Every structure is written in C-alpha cells, then in structure tokens.
C-alpha cells in the first residue's frame, strides 16, 4: 500500500529524512514511532505528495502520491490546523466527502469519529478534543483505502484518546490500511500491528510492538570485553543487540537478570553496569548504532 | 467541486457584518456622489456604473483575502489531501468570487433605478448588469492570487490597498478625464478602468470598444495564470 525507497529530504543543511526505506502492506495498522524531530511529519508529507523528496521515491497504492490522493485512495489527518469559520460540522465533513468518488454516509463518519449529536454545531465553536475528532472524520469520510494520521492524539486528554482509538480501530476493521505517527511508545504498542521506529530520518527498528519493546524498552548491561567475543555476547539470553566501544560491550537486553547470570556463568563479569533504558535514550542509542 | 463552492458561498453569506458593509458602502457612496450639486445627469450615470464596479471589486478582493485566512488555519492543506485538484480549487474559488460580487452590483443598480430614478432602456440595464458582473473576473483572479501567495495578515491589507488604488486610478471615484495626461494613460491600462468603461460606454449612449475588451482579456489571461501559480506556491500553513 505504501512503498518508500531511499526517500530523502533536507531543509537547508538539516536532513529531515535521510534514506528512508519502508513497505507497508494493505490492511496493516502501522505506527511511525519516533521522538520529536525524527522526520515523521516530513515522511508523511512525502507520502501525501505535500512535500517533494530530494531523492528516492514514494508510491502509494502503486501510484505517485499526488495521483493516489487525486484518485481518493488516501485520507489524511494532518498535524495542527484549526477549522474554518461559519460552517457546521456536518457541512464541513460533507464537503470533504463530496470530493471522494465513493464516500461513506456523513452520519456514519461522524459516528465513527465520536461526533454523534454534534453535526449541527458550528465548527469554530468546538473544544480542542472535538476539533480533533472532526479532523479525524474528514480523514475517513471518503472511505479511502489508506488513512494517514500525523500525531492524531497530540492535543487530547486521556479519555479523548481512548475514544479516538476506538474509532480508529473501527475504521481499520473495515480492512483499511492505517498509518499513524506518535511519540508515545504505549500508543504504538496498544494500537498498531506493526511499529516502525524512526530517528534522525531513518528507520532504526521495525517489527511488532513486542519486538520493538525488546529493543527500546529493556535494559543495558555493560561489561569490559575479555572472555567473550561479540558473537558470543549476542547469543547470551535476553540480548537483542550488542554495541562494542573501546573494548567495552553494551548489551541491550530484554532480561537483564538472565543476561547477568549468563555473564557470571561464563566468568565474564568485569566492571558490570546495569541501567534501565528510557525511550528517549533508547532512541539515541539506536541511532548511534544506525 | 459543487460541494466546495456551496460551502464557501455559505461561509460568505453567513458573515452578516461583512455582507451589510459590502452592500451598504457602494450604495451609500453612490447616493452621496450622485446627489452632489455639481453632478449632471451624465455624471449620475457615470457614478452608477462606477459604484457598482467599486462594490464588485471590493467583494472580489475580499474573496481573495478569505483564501489567505483559509491557508492560515490549514484548510488549504486539508483540501490538498482530498481528491480536489489545484485547478479545481482555483476554479471553485473563482466561481465563488464571481457570485459574491453580485449583491453589490444588484444593490447599486436597483437603488439607481428605483431611488435615483435613473432611466435606461431594458437592454441597457441588462447589458450593464451582465458586464458589471462578468467583467470583474480578472479582478477576482488577481485577488485570489494574492490570497494564495500572501499570509493571512498581509493578504487582507494588500487587497484593501489594491482595491482602493485600482478604484482611484481606474477612475471609479473621479473620471479619468480630470487626470493629468500621463495618469490618464496609465489609467487606461488598469483592469478596473476598462471593466467600468464597458458599461460607461453603454449608459452614455455608445457601445464598448474593442480595446476595452482586449485590455480586460489580457488581464484575465495574466491573472488566471497568476492565481494558478499562486495556488501551487501557496503557503499551506
């Protein structure tokens, strides 16, 4: 459904997206997870034909992104954006529906987005959470094959988030492809079939949320390298990744206890150090490797 | 596309304060100018056309400014991720612009006929009504281009200034025959002057000149390109 090959985009000297390769199958719900400034929005902009890549290629539904959008295969909820004045919610969502070849009934879209009963309200007189839901309704009302949501929950409180994800899952269950970006690990974990971690404009990890958590959510065990080779260290229980620097090994592990026990069994404990990894430092560690 | 046109039309009409000003201003100015002692009957006819044209031009520029405000709230960016293409957006907005100029034109002509007792042959009323409506197209497109290219704050300012400048230079407030020679020449190249001239020629007992159509047609082509260029280069947020 989405195919990115060697996609790159710079703004001045800053490389926003730096050689992105990514393929997303039809029907998947995929999270694009990364810290602020990782290149998520720029990547999404190129998928939607809003941003012209410097090099590489983006294809959506087998088409150039601009063509895919023109043919109504894509719906998008962009970051930020207020709603226009002097129209009702129903008029606004209905206007967007009218641009698609085979939209769903406006009432159905309002329901999926959790806007039942608000159709007659003026769009410029809604709360922040309601505005977000209207923007979600505009993304899905065309019943496109793919919806792209750029940080859809950034402005929402916990309860509004839950409501939002319920609507998103209901849409995905229609067999549609959903791609959303977030910088919350829990959201990616709970909502996506597949998590693509990006940092500094590159894909640094890609898999199910369980696989990703093993990489970014575990602990780091550091020891001086003496008895064991890098390959042997990588075989230790729990270890998912090995970094070697200055004769010191940093083992990313999902089970620090098991890893330490195994090191001890091999009499390889020298200057042992165990640290928990928070998301931000895991990203940094991963990008240094990448 | 029809849905988008309908939505934008409703938004304009629902702006009650704007609608009152857009209709009242040219009507009031017409009533004041045409009632001045020094204005003869021809002067009254001149002002009838001039103020209808001024009202239409004001509505056209306001329509263009609205586009810049849409860009500022992210609406243009939202439209760009719908199947509506660039040409369709520009055409829709131009159609909206062509429709929102109508109230001012109709109001000034109606007041002229009913309140000021202007007497014209039916074909003359029909002709100037049509020309005052369709002739505003280049200005609608010019204002749209500005709206796409300028920020939400700069566009209304630029469009207001241009509206006044083109009205004055185009002879909508004072006849260009009172201008110094170089300024009259300059005036004859403005879209506003040629736009009003089509109808002046009709009410003052002549027919529009080919030159007026040619100059206006030239501006139409230029501003059409400008509006499409503007949308492609538009600030999307």
Q: Model confidence over B92-142: pLDDT tens digits?
A: 999 999 999 999 999 999 999 999 999 999 999 999 999 999 999 999 999
What's the pLDDT tens digit per position in A29-69? 999 988 888 899 999 999 999 999 999 999 999 999 999 99
Residue B194 and residue B200: Cα distance in Å, rounded? 10
Question: What DSSP line would sit under A63-111, residue for residue?
Answer: B-HHHHHHTT-EEEE-SS--PPSS-BHHHHHHHHHTTSSSPPPHHHHHH
**Among the listed residues A279, A281, A276, the one whose alpha carbon sits nearest the alpha carbon of residue A220:** A276
Q: Residue A204: what pLDDT?
A: 85
- Inter-chain touch B7–A74, beta carbons under 8 Å: no
Indicate the SS3 state at residue A204.
strand
- Angstrom distance (rounded) from CA B142 to CA B64: 8
Other beta carbons within 10 Å of B197: 26
Count CA atoms within 13 Å of residue A172 on its CB side. 21
pLDDT at A262 over 50: yes
**Could you give the residue range(s) of every CATH 3.40.50.300 domain in chain A?**
2-213
Residue in the block written with tokens 């947020």: B237
Q: Number of A to B CB contacts under 8 A, please give it.
A: 73
The answer to whether A84 contacts chain B (CB < 8 Å) is yes
Residues 6 or more apart whose Cβ sits within 8 Å of residue B1: A99, B84, B88, B91, B92
Q: For chain B, say whether A91 makes contact (Cβ under 8 Å).
A: yes
* 3-class state of residue B11 by DSSP: helix
pLDDT of residue B237 exceeding 70: no
DSSP A179: E
CA A18 to chain centre: 17
Q: What is residue B124's predicted lDDT score, i.e. its pLDDT? A: 95
Indicate if the alpha-carbon torsion angle A64, A69, A73, A74 is positive or negative: positive
Closest residue of chain B to A143, computed from CA coordinates? B82
Considering only alpha carbons, which residue of chain B is nearest residue A86? B11
DSSP A213-277: HHHHSSEEEEEE-SSS-HHHHHTSTTEEEEEEETTEEEEEES-HHHHHHHHHHTT--SS-EEEE-
From the list A106, A118, A115, the residue with the least C-alpha distance to A143 is A106
- Contact call for residues A267 and A227 (beta carbons, < 8 A): yes
> Does A125 contact chain B (CB < 8 Å)?
no
Torsion on CA atoms A86, A92, A95, A96, rounded to nearest 10 = 140
**Angle, in degrees to the nearest 10, between helices B2-13 and A89-97:** 160
Cα–Cα distances in angstroms (integers) from residue A151 to residues A44, A79, A132, A187, in the given order: 11, 6, 11, 11
Domain spanning A217-289: CATH 3.20.20? no
Domain with CATH 3.30.70 in chain A: 217-289
Contact B81 A76 (CB under 8 A): yes
Contacts of A82 in chain B (CB under 8 A): 73-74
pLDDT at B55: 97
Alpha-carbon gap, residue A35 to A286, rounded angstroms:
12
What residues of chain A lie within 8 A of the CB of B10, using their CB?
A: 86-87, 91
Higher pLDDT, A218 or B176: B176
pLDDT at B236: 60
Quote the CA–CA distance of A242 and A259 in Å, as a whole number: 12
**Cα separation, B3 vs A234, whole angstroms:** 60
Average pLDDT, chain A: 88
Could you give the 3-state DSSP secondary structure of residue A155? Answer: coil
Pick A99 or A12 by higher pLDDT: A99
What was the pLDDT predicted at A186?
A: 78
- Residue A152 sits at φ, ψ, to 5 deg, of -65, -25
User: Interface pTM (ipTM) of the complex?
Assistant: 0.87
The reported pLDDT for the residue numbered A216 is 62
* Residue carrying structure tokens 């690990």: A185
CA distance readout (Å), B230 to A206, B28, B146, B211? 40, 34, 7, 28
Q: Does A226 touch chain B (CB under 8 A)?
A: no
pLDDT value of residue A95? 96
Whether the per-residue pLDDT at A88 is higher than 50: the answer is yes
In this prediction, residue A79 carries a pLDDT of 84
In the Cβ-directed half-sphere of A165, how many Cα atoms lie within 13 Å?
Answer: 19
Contacts of B237 in chain A (CB under 8 A): 80-81
Contacts of A41 in chain B (CB under 8 A): none
Indicate the range of A119-128, A149-158, A205-214, B186-195 predicted with least confidence: A205-214
If you average pLDDT over residues B66-73, what whole number do you get? 90
Nearest by Cα to A30 from A182, A149, A194: A194
Q: Note which residues in 44-63 of chain A have CB less than 8 A from chain B.
A: 48-50
pLDDT value at A261 more than 60: yes
Query: Chain A contacts of B70, Cβ < 8 Å?
Result: 84
How many CB atoms are located within 10 Å of the residue B185 CB?
A: 11
Give the tens place of pLDDT for each residue, B186-211. 999 999 999 999 999 999 988 999 99
CB under 8 Å to A99, separation ≥6 — which residues? A72, A142, B1, B3, B4, B82, B83, B84
Q: Among A108-112, A142-146, A180-184, B21-25, which stretch is predicted with the lowest mean pLDDT?
A: A180-184
**Residue reference for tokens 């928990």:** A276
Closest CA relative to residue B82, chosen from A176, A92, A129, A173: A92
- pLDDT tens digits for range B17-61: 999 999 999 999 999 999 887 778 889 999 999 999 999 999 999
Domain covering A2-213 in this structure, CATH number: 3.40.50.300
């Amino acid at each position: 459904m989405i195919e990115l090959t060697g996609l790159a985009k710079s703004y001045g000297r800053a490389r926003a997206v730096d050689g992105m390769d990514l393929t997303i199958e039809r029907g998947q719900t995929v999270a694009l997870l990364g810290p602020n400034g990782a290149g998520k929005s720029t990547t999404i902009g190129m998928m939607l034909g809003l941003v012209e890549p410097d090099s590489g290629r983006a294809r959506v539904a087998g088409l150039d992104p601009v063509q895919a959008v023109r043919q109504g295969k894509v719906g998008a909820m962009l970051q930020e954006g207020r709603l226009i004045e002097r129209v009702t919610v129903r008029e606004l969502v209905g206007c967007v529906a009218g641009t698609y070849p085979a939209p769903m009934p406006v009432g159905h879209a309002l329901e999926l987005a959790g806007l039942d009963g608000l159709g007659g309200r003026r769009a410029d007189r809604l709360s922040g959470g309601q505005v977000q839901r209207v923007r979600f309704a505009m993304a899905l009302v065309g019943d496109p094959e793919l919806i792209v949501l750029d940080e859809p929950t950034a402005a929402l409180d916990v309860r509004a988030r839950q409501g939002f994800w319920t609507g998103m899952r209901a849409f995905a269950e229609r067999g549609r492809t959903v791609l959303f970006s977030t910088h919350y690990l829990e959201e990616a974990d709970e909502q996506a079939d597949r998590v693509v971690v990006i940092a500094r404009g590159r894909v640094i990890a890609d898999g199910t949320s369980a696989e990703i958590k093993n990489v970014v959510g575990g602990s780091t065990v550091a020891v001086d390298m003496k008895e064991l080779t890098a390959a042997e260290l990588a075989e230790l229980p729990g270890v998912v990744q090995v970094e070697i620097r200055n004769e010191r090994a940093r083992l990313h592990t999902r089970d620090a206890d098991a890893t330490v026990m195994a090191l001890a069994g091999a009499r390889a404990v020298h200057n042992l150090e165990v640290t928990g990894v928070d998301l931000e430092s895991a990203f940094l560690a991963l990008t240094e490797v990448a | 596309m029809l849905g988008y046109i309908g939505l934008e039309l409703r938004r304009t009409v629902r702006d009650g304060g704007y609608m009152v000003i857009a209709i009242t201003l040219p009507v009031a100015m017409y009533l004041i100018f045409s009632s001045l002692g020094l204005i003869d009957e021809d002067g009254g006819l001149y002002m009838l056309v001039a103020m209808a044209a001024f009202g239409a031009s004001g509505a056209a520029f306001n329509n263009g400014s609205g586009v810049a405000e849409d860009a500022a709230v992210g609406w243009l960016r939202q439209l760009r991720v719908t199947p509506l293409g660039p040409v369709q957006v520009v055409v829709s907005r131009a159609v909206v612009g062509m429709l929102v100029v109508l109230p001012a034109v109709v109001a000034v002509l109606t007041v002229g006929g009913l309140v000021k007792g202007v007497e014209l042959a039916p074909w003359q009323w029909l002709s100037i009504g049509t020309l005052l409506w369709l002739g505003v197209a280049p200005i609608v497109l010019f204002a749209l281009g500005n709206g796409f290219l300028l920020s939400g704050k700069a566009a209304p300012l630029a469009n207001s200034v241009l509206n006044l400048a083109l009205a004055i230079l185009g002879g909508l407030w004072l006849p260009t025959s009172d201008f110094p020679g170089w300024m009259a020449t300059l005036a004859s190249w403005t879209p506003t002057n040629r736009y009003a001239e089509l109808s002046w020629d009709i009410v003052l007992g002549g027919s529009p000149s080919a030159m007026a159509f040619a100059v206006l047609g030239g501006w139409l082509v230029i501003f059409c390109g400008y509006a499409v260029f503007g949308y492609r280069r538009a600030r999307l947020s």
